[in-house]
Structure 1
Amino acid sequence: MSKVDTTLWGKFMIGQLFDIYKPNVYHTREVKESTDGIPYIVRSKFNNGMKYRVLKTNSLETSPSGVISFGSENASFFYQEEEWCSGRDIYYIDTRSLSSWTCRFLATCLDVIAEKYTYSFGLFPDLLKKETILLPIDKEGKPDWSYMDAYMRKVDNRAKKNLDCLQSVITPQNL
């Protein structure tokens, strides 16, 4: 795909588009690792922010699926496609009204904001609410969620085709 032209995109204040929440905090000693459990999201830039999966218990208050999580000190944005629980200094942007594809597009746009924040100068909800983000706009000048969805579907389809092509070329015989 060619470079995305952002010249006709609009600026939006995050706090005017979305609500941001702080989920309950669970320290490592309070959760039990379980391969078939739910994601335990921590301040990591790797594996979608997930440290490992943990056992879901009745006393564990989970965060919703379909949201974008971020850690204050690492300021990485991840789409959470299933319910999850979190460690310290994790927050989420309520994007449940948007498709998963749109959320992935949005998370990529949010990563530009993250570059300004470091471990010693964390990105907390009050700061994020005041940040502006560039997004594609529709005819009314509002975020074009449909365009974002369609764009990410194309990216995914292209990636799948490339993987299929690689798999047809790479076989156990030529490794």
Structure 2
Amino acid sequence: MLQLSDREWKPFFLTELFTTIQRGKRLKSENHMVGKTPYVSSSALNNGVDNFISNTDKVRVFSNCLSLANSGSVGSSFYEPFAFVASDHITHLKNERYSKYHYLFIASITNRLSQKYNFNREINDNRISREKIMLPINEQGDLDLDFMEQYIKEREVKLLQKYKSFISKNIQTGGGAETP
């Protein structure tokens, strides 16, 4: 199994990693229209989904990207595989080259920004442009996308095996075990 210590790491500016960095737009809660599109705000829970709306005017819709909370639960970062409307408290980070596995790996790193920022020291556009995160590099000194993808895939397989074993055991014995 791949280990994080198997690679050399290097700092990268967020602006080097993402081709699009854009903040959502303000949409007051009283203007939310009930719908099926996730509304992502600055929550650390449920991928940041705060509501489901149908608004299409004066909103920004993103998908297949990272969301980064600028305020509230500052630094909370999630991979968002679905189309969503971003509040003005969210910055979307996107690079067309990245797979879901790259985003999941990077999200685990960007989540650590919550230790650096807080309600009184929010993440603004200027701070994002200066922010660096450490990521693994290959022998050429470039971002090691292959390692990042394989690392997450291995952990995904391991978790799925654990859950399958748990479910199988509980179906056969009738339960009584704690969820892993």
TM-score range, shorter chain: 0.7 to 0.9
Moved over 4 A (4+): none
Q: Which residue of 2 aligns with 1:59?
A: 57
Does residue 156 in structure 1 map to residue 156 in structure 2?
Answer: yes
Amino acid at match of 1:154: E
Question: Normalising by structure 1, what TM-score?
Answer: 0.88
Structure 1 residue ranges without an equivalent (≥5): none
Q: Are 1:43 and 1:72, in contact at CA under 8 Å, matched by a contact in 2?
A: yes
Percent identity between matched residues is 19
1:137-172 Cα shifts (integer Å, max 9, x gaps) = 122211111211111111111111000000011238
1:18-62, CA deviations, whole angstroms, 9 ceiling, x for partnerless residues? 24111222222222233xx1110011000000012222x542644
Alignment partners' CA distance in 2, 1:122 and 1:138? 33
Q: How many residues align?
A: 172
SS of alignment partner, residue 147 of structure 2? helix
Which residue is 1:41 aligned to?
Answer: 40
Where do residues 105-144 of structure 1 align in structure 2 (5 Å cutoff)?
105-144=105-144
Q: CA RMSD in A?
A: 2.0
- In the alignment, what sits opposite 2:15? 15
**Structure 2: gaps spanning 5 or more residues:** none
Alignment partners' CA distance in 2, 1:82 and 1:60: 19
Structure 2 match to 1:24? 25
What does the per-residue CA deviation read over 1:99-149, in whole Å, with 9 as the maximum and x for residues that have no partner? 011101001111222310001111122112212111111222111112111
The one-letter code sitting in structure 1 at the alignment partner of 2:24 is: P
Q: Please tell me whether residue 71 in structure 1 is matched to residue 72 in structure 2.
A: no
